[in-house]
Structure 1
Amino acid sequence: MWSQKKKVLMAMVTLGLAAALIRSWTPRPYNSVDVRPKQETKMEKLLEDRLLLSEHKYDDIPYRVKESVLGLLARNGCVCEGETRSINLPYAHLLFPRVSAQNLHTAFKVSELEEVKRRRAQEYHSFQMRSQTSADLLIVAEANSPLQYPTQGVEVRPLKTILVPGLALKEKTRERYTVNLTATMGTFDIAAFVDDVTMKGEGEMQMALSSRYLSALNRQLQFVTYTNTLFHPNTADTVQFVTDGHQSFFTVKVRHGVTPKLYNPGPKEEYNVSALVTIATKTFLRYDKLQDLIDSIRQFYPTITIVIADDNEHPKPVIGPYIEHYTMPFGKGWFAGRNLAVSQVTTKYVLWVDDDFIFTANTKLEKLVDVLESTTVDLVGGAVREVTGYTASYRQTFSLEQGGEEGDCLHIRRGFHHAIKGFPNCVVADGVVNFFLARTDKVQQVGFDPRLARVAHLEFFIDGLGVLHVASCDDVVVNHASKIKLPWGQSESDRAYYKFRYPPSSSDTAQTRSSLFYFKNRFQCLTHN
């Protein structure tokens, strides 16, 4: 009788776990989002009601906090907290992944931490000085001001001249109308004269215009020019625009035009993958698997270029048509090899693959090319099928939470943001599997940190946060060669590879990773599930 009760109890537990697993696999109700490039349209209607920032102006008016909205605001004091195990059942860690937290300052000795913090703060300050300009300052146009001026969108090339658009005065009747313009990185002048307008300071950093007639003054303001006189390739000047009792500010961006990097894709009837895509990989002690990869690629893409970075101690020749084999110093590392391989790519797109992948009929690169050609996405991952039959795309989302002087918090979660309209098998995420097609210039812009020698992947996507627009499509699949090797079936190269690939726990790999997160990325901690 007791045995039967135990069976019923076990069956109920199993059904409960199965239901939870099915629920965790249920697709989330995301709406698809159109990420296709939009044609240039008219500026959307500006919001009519704008919140004015006035310090202490309305302190005497009481207010009630709306907690649901207050909790969404940035607090500049992030906290990383892990989860405790709430369910103690077999395989619970697979069905209910626990969020863990890691404080990254522990990568350094206590005795050196304060000095590391000081250097990190100094480097961060230098970074802010390099990357921030006056255009980042919040400038609010005061309501009911008689001054009309551009709030954004004014741009001039270094040491060049433009007409300043949108300047005007909307003033009540008075005897004389006067405005003043002041800059710090350029001078003002006029492109044409208007009668009955008096000017002072032409060709100088401060210019005054006045007239008895408002219409004449406004006509003259249409011809005001700004000339940049202090060279900087990418900065901004803050211009002060003043009349009696009123002042306003607007920015003039000073920067070179962006030089495009264009690729000729050839005729557009269909995608010529060999002309658009280069396959890049890094190999180490696995020439047999590398040859299997090459053979599988040639079965479906006989003329596509394959770039191989090789840091073996005794490199073997890898020859064949459309193969570029580059050797490196011994054991130089995973990300260093990625940098080398990607640096030699001359096509519009680069496909990254591991050297133990196998192409099949489901490895349709044309589908990935179509996503990149049809959307604003920079990088799109596929899926990897293991020998067990399990197929994974390893989609991750990142959230960077501001944390004040101690650094920021990085939160990594499994999942994706939303589906992509027009591509039913594709979603937008922040990190994807180690099989992806990307715009070559974008990958080169982010780069791979060569200090990550043996274990690394998501670090590339973390460095690319804010630069890369990432997607994932689970209908383009590459096979993964078996990693299962019985001890008596392992070759000498297999044993050497696993020694490098899976270093002992005493290795400094984890410390290096944490120290880079802490100092280079200015994180105080990270959480992930």
Structure 2
Amino acid sequence: MRANRKLCFTVVVFVPVSLLCLHMWNKSEKVVAVWNREAPEDVLDNSLVQPLEKFSGIALKWKNEVLELLPKNNCKCEAEATLNIPFRRELLGKPYAVNFTATFKSSEMNETHKRRELEYTNFKMRSYNPADKIIIAEANSPLQYPVQGVEVRPLKTILIPGLSLLALKKISIYEVSLSCTLGTFDVAADVNSVTIKGAGEKQITLSSVFLDNLNRQLQLISYTNTVFHPNTADTVKFQSDGHTATFIIKVRHPILPKLYDMGPSKSQYNISTLVTIATKTFLRYDKLQDLIDSIRKFYPTVTIIIADDSEKPQKVEGPFIEQYIMPFGKGWFAGRNLAISQVSTKYVLWVDDDFIFCPQTKIEKLVDVLEKTSLDLVGGAVREITGYYTTYRQTISVIPGDKEGDCLKTHQGYHHVIEGFPNCVVSDGVVNFFLARTDKILKAGFDPRLSRIGHLEFFIDGLGTLHVGSCDDVVIDHASKLYFPWSQSKSDKEYSKFRYPQSSTGKNIQYELFYFKNRLKCMTGN
């Protein structure tokens, strides 16, 4: 009896304390307006802290707390040390470290590594953009020039803004030159008393005895792109009397908008014209029908798209339902690709086929978040039969590594609360119940090689492409996963055999993709 009392005391006291620790661990007090804003400054390269020779004798004191924040390209595949608190594993998960190289046999490891590095080199060559290079505008005080923001469409012409020469002393003749590699220079008009050499060429020189005349001519310098590329940049050098400045002219097509007609303006969102519901099913037609019935209670005219890879598909009929049959066992992510590829509305709501809509499944709330912020995808909360809510909020980061690859780090939690939406936060991963901009989710895509196991992989592939949020006040129910042997139907048993295979093949595929496709050597998290 006394032992039972001690156990009860432990549960009553330590569980709430542990839950409070979990809450404080993952809670961010920062509230940020998630709107389109100017991009932050580039992170400085480590080489910039190395002194020039003329500064080498100057004493200084390093700040270790700042140095620790700089990238070092030596990430370690080790589980992080964590606080030792009661029920830590149950509440926060077990810290882990997975080395993806262990997936490969030693005999194939070297060859696989070589192929991967070759592909990585080609990838860097294809994706390199000169505009990504950090250019430091040194103190070339006589030269005024645009630091950024100059853009021209392929094979078109612009005037270069902001060019000027500020003389520090009077000289007999003032001269400047400009040079580039992907275009030519010219002038929109000839200014009196200015000599021009190289008009229509990659390098142009202008000179005059009158500074004002020269500066007037500089206002009329044109740049014409002559080498077609849909998205690149030209590096321009601007020189005068031993001074050199470098700036970038972006060369790219304008991004054409993808607009959606939402119909006449209304005080509330017309979900039927804004949102399509997509799901993937396999054998579980009873649960799929429960999902459809629950949707129709709240959204009778919203289109439902179903991707089905069952061996003997059953026809799913009803108004505003589209069923697409796939090859047998094609898989989870392939079904996602198929279903979402058929969406024609601005937004797509993804749900699993064993979810059930309830009064708290307010799609309008998720639409409102996407309409009023720069988020691309926002998840809700899934309520289990036990009453437990899950949002699967994850923060994901890639730590620079060495020639073996980078390190992937995941943590439960989020980055900050969204201003104007106190129940919504910004994260990098959410649960399998989310609303997304159709064009952005298609751009991120789902790797069809992940046939039975996969979720986090989608958000890893979308890192840097998708701006993700999560709202815990939009809830969907999850059908019970509690099965007794005598209550399982034939389809339930068949589904379990495919969904939960006995071998570890699924994880091996995941790790191989992480290693080769994403050039990662390991993953750490909790």
1:518 corresponds to: 515
Q: Does 1:112 align with 2:111?
A: no
One-letter amino acid of the counterpart of residue 183, structure 1: C
How far 1:144 sits from its partner (Å)? 4.3
1:433 corresponds to: 431
Q: 1:481 aligns with which of 479, 482, 506?
A: 479
How far 1:18 sits from its partner (Å)? 3.7
Separation in 2, partners of 1:336, 1:8 = 52
1:337 corresponds to: 335
1:374 corresponds to: 372
2:319 corresponds to: 321
One-letter amino acid of the counterpart of residue 28, structure 1: K
2:186 corresponds to: 189
Number of residue pairs matched? 516
Q: 2:385 aligns with which of 381, 384, 387?
A: 387
Separation in 2, partners of 1:312, 1:433 = 24
Separation in 2, partners of 1:494, 1:102 = 32
Separation in 2, partners of 1:67, 1:81 = 22
How far 1:399 sits from its partner (Å)? 1.3
The 5-angstrom pairing of residues 458-473 of structure 1 reads: 458-473=456-471
CA-to-aligned-CA distance 1:172-222 (integer Å, 9 cap, x gap)? 210001111111111110000101100101101111100001111000000
How far 1:238 sits from its partner (Å)? 0.7
- Paired residue secondary structure (1:115): helix
Separation in 1, partners of 2:83, 2:262 = 55
- Paired residue secondary structure (1:220): helix
1:148 corresponds to: 144
How far 1:244 sits from its partner (Å)? 1.1
The 5-angstrom pairing of residues 435-454 of structure 1 reads: 435-454=433-452
How far 1:23 sits from its partner (Å)? 2.5
How far 1:4 sits from its partner (Å)? 5.2
For structure 1, the residue ranges without an aligned partner over 5 or more in a row are 45-50
One-letter amino acid of the counterpart of residue 180, structure 1: S
Task: Report the RMSD for the aligned CA atoms in angstroms.
Answer: 2.1
- Paired residue secondary structure (2:258): coil
CA contact under 8 A between 1:362 and 1:476: conserved in structure 2? yes
CA-to-aligned-CA distance 1:436-473 (integer Å, 9 cap, x gap)? 00000000000000000001111111100001010000
Q: Does 1:412 align with 2:410?
A: yes
- Paired residue secondary structure (1:517): helix
Separation in 2, partners of 1:161, 1:105 = 51
Structure 1 residues 345 and 8, CA gap change in structure 2 (3 angstroms): closer
Q: 1:157 aligns with which of 150, 153, 158?
A: 153
CA contact under 8 A between 1:197 and 1:211: conserved in structure 2? yes
Structure 1 residues 455 and 476, CA gap change in structure 2 (3 angstroms): same
Q: Does 1:168 align with 2:164?
A: yes
1:76 corresponds to: 73
CA contact under 8 A between 2:140 and 2:244: conserved in structure 1? no
How far 1:25 sits from its partner (Å)? 2.5
Q: TM-score, normalised by structure 1?
A: 0.94
One-letter amino acid of the counterpart of residue 116, structure 1: T
2:308 corresponds to: 310
2:98 corresponds to: 102
Q: Does 1:31 align with 2:43?
A: no
Q: 1:400 aligns with which of 365, 373, 398?
A: 398
How far 1:528 sits from its partner (Å)? 1.6
1:48 corresponds to: none
Separation in 2, partners of 1:57, 1:99 = 48
2:258 corresponds to: 261
CA contact under 8 A between 2:192 and 2:213: conserved in structure 1? yes
1:58 corresponds to: 55
Q: Does 1:363 align with 2:361?
A: yes
CA contact under 8 A between 1:83 and 1:98: conserved in structure 2? no
Separation in 1, partners of 2:516, 2:3 = 57
CA-to-aligned-CA distance 1:213-256 (integer Å, 9 cap, x gap)? 11110000000001111111111111111111111111111111
Separation in 1, partners of 2:51, 2:196 = 34
Structure 1 residues 37 and 73, CA gap change in structure 2 (3 angstroms): closer
2:296 corresponds to: 298
One-letter amino acid of the counterpart of residue 213, structure 2: A
The 5-angstrom pairing of residues 199-278 of structure 1 reads: 199-269=196-266, 270-278=268-276
- Paired residue secondary structure (1:403): strand
2:488 corresponds to: 490
Q: 2:345 aligns with which of 333, 344, 347?
A: 347
Q: 1:502 aligns with which of 500, 503, 516?
A: 500
Separation in 2, partners of 1:352, 1:408 = 31
CA-to-aligned-CA distance 1:54-83 (integer Å, 9 cap, x gap)? 733311112111111111111111112115
2:131 corresponds to: 135
One-letter amino acid of the counterpart of residue 107, structure 1: T
Separation in 2, partners of 1:57, 1:156 = 40
Identity across matched positions, percent = 60
CA-to-aligned-CA distance 1:25-62 (integer Å, 9 cap, x gap)? 34724221111356x9xx99xxxxxx998733311112
Separation in 1, partners of 2:28, 2:480 = 35
CA contact under 8 A between 1:282 and 1:334: conserved in structure 2? yes
Separation in 1, partners of 2:81, 2:366 = 40
Separation in 2, partners of 1:263, 1:37 = 20
2:44 corresponds to: none
Structure 1 residues 407 and 448, CA gap change in structure 2 (3 angstroms): same
Structure 1 residues 300 and 113, CA gap change in structure 2 (3 angstroms): same
Structure 1 residues 6 and 299, CA gap change in structure 2 (3 angstroms): closer
Separation in 2, partners of 1:106, 1:98 = 20
CA contact under 8 A between 1:311 and 1:331: conserved in structure 2? yes
For structure 2, the residue ranges without an aligned partner over 5 or more in a row are 42-47
CA contact under 8 A between 2:27 and 2:413: conserved in structure 1? no
One-letter amino acid of the counterpart of residue 445, structure 1: K
- Paired residue secondary structure (2:338): helix
